[in-house]
Amino acid sequence: MKILVTGGNGFLGSFICKELSISNEVFTLSRSNSNYNFNLDLETPILSQKFDIVIHAAGKAHLVPLNDFDRNNFFLSNVKGTQHLLEGLRISRLPKYFVFISSVSVYGSAFGENINEMNPLLAEDPYGKSKIETENIITKWCDENNVICTILRLPLVVGENPPGNLGAMIRGIKKGFYFNIAGGNVKKSMVLATDVAKFILIAAEKGGIYNLTDGYHPTFNELSKNIASKMGKSYVPNLPKYFAYLLAKFGDHLGNNFPINSNKLLKINSTLTFDDTKSREAFGWNPTPVLEGFKIN
C-alpha cells in the first residue's frame, strides 16, 4: 500500500516507518527532512499523491506546560495541526483508512486499574484535552468522508532512545541519581513501539478505538532494575515514602524545574493500568512483554 506517516521523524513515527517500509511504499510528512515538508501547526499541506492509509503520529507531547503559551501550543499542534492535515487530504484525494495515534491521557486518570475504552474521557490537562478534541474532530471527519477510522490509545511507549520520562529514567540510572519511591511497586501500563507499528495495518482495515499495552504492566522497580542490568548495574536506590513526601512539599514551592512535587509524586506513586482486551479479542493482539523486548542503545 501507499502510506503517509505524519511525524515520521519522531520517536514512534520512526518505528512505524521502519516497520511498514518492509512491504509498503511509505511517505513522511514533517516540518523538515521528509517527503512532504509542512508545518501543520501553521499551514495546510499540499499533497500530490493519493494514499491508501494515513497514519497521524505528529503532535506535541513530553512537555509539562509552564505557562499559557505552552498550554496553547498543545492545541496548536494537536488540534489545529490535525485540522490542517484533514483539509489537505480533503483538497487532494481521500485515503481509505485513517489511523490516529492518541493517548491513554484522554481518560484523565492519575490512578486506576484495567481502564478500558468504555471509560469516560475526563482529562483536564492541556495534553489530554487536546487529544480528546482531536479524536472528536477525526471521528467526525472520517464519518463525513466515508474513511475507516482507527484510534490507538497508547500508554508509555518503550523503545530504543526514548524521549520523555522514560528517557529521563534511563539517564538517571546511568548517572546514578535515579531512585525508586517506597520500593517502586506501583504498576504502569507500557507497550513496545515495535509492537504498535506491527499492529497498525491489522487494525486499520476494521477501524475502531483500542487501548494497547504489553498485558503485563511492570512495576517501576522491575523496569528500573531491567534497565540497570542492561547497563551492568546491580543496584537501584530507593527513597522512603515519607522522605519523598517532604521533598514533594518542598518542590511545590520551587516550581516545575524541581525534580519532584506533590502532583508528580501522586503520579509516580500510583498504579495506573489499562485494559487491552478489546484488541486481543478483535485481532489476537499478543505483544512482547516490555521487560523482554526493551533494548537500550
Whole-model pTM: value is 0.93
Quote the CA–CA distance of 226 and 222 in Å, as a whole number: 6
Of 10-19, 92-101, 252-261, the least confident? 252-261
Q: Is residue 102 part of a domain?
A: yes
- Measured from the Cβ of residue 25, the count of other Cβ atoms closer than 10 Å reads 13
Helix (H, G, I), strand (E, B) or coil at 249: helix
Contact 192, 214 (CB under 8 A): yes
Specify the higher pLDDT residue, 295 or 216.
Answer: 216
Q: Is residue 252 part of a domain?
A: no
Amino acid identity, position 142: C
Half-sphere exposure at residue 34, Cβ-oriented, CA atoms within 13 angstroms: 24
Query: For 114-138, how does the pLDDT look when each residue is reduced to its tens digit (9 = 90+)?
Result: 999 999 999 999 999 999 999 999 9
- Is the pLDDT reported for residue 141 higher than 90? yes
Quote the CA–CA distance of 20 and 6 in Å, as a whole number: 13
Q: Is residue 48 part of a domain?
A: yes
Q: Computed over its alpha carbons, how large is the radius of gyration of the chain?
A: 19
Instruction: Report how many domains make up the chain.
Output: 1
DSSP state of 188: B
Query: For 35-67, how does the pLDDT look when each residue is reduced to its tens digit (9 = 90+)?
Result: 999 999 999 999 999 999 999 999 988 666 667
pLDDT of amino acid 261? 79
Q: Is residue 289 part of a domain?
A: yes
- Is the pLDDT reported for residue 165 higher than 90? no
Q: Is residue 253 part of a domain?
A: no
Query: For 69-90, how does the pLDDT look when each residue is reduced to its tens digit (9 = 90+)?
Result: 777 888 988 999 999 999 999 9
Contact 154, 208 (CB under 8 A): no
Specify the higher pLDDT residue, 284 or 237.
Answer: 284
Q: Is residue 11 part of a domain?
A: yes
Amino acid identity, position 107: Y
Q: What's the CATH number where 53 sits? A: 3.40.50.720
DSSP state of 36: E
pLDDT of amino acid 100? 98
Helix (H, G, I), strand (E, B) or coil at 192: strand
pLDDT of amino acid 253? 82
Q: Is residue 247 part of a domain?
A: no
Amino acid identity, position 68: D
* Mean pLDDT within 13-39: 97
> What is the average pLDDT score of the chain?
93
Contact 205, 52 (CB under 8 A): no
Contact 147, 96 (CB under 8 A): yes
Domain span including residue 75: 2-160+191-220+274-293
Confidence of residue 104 (pLDDT cuts 50, 70, 90): very high
Q: Is residue 169 part of a domain?
A: no
Beta pairing, strands 25-30 & 238-239: unpaired
Length of the chain: 297
* Mean pLDDT within 213-225: 96
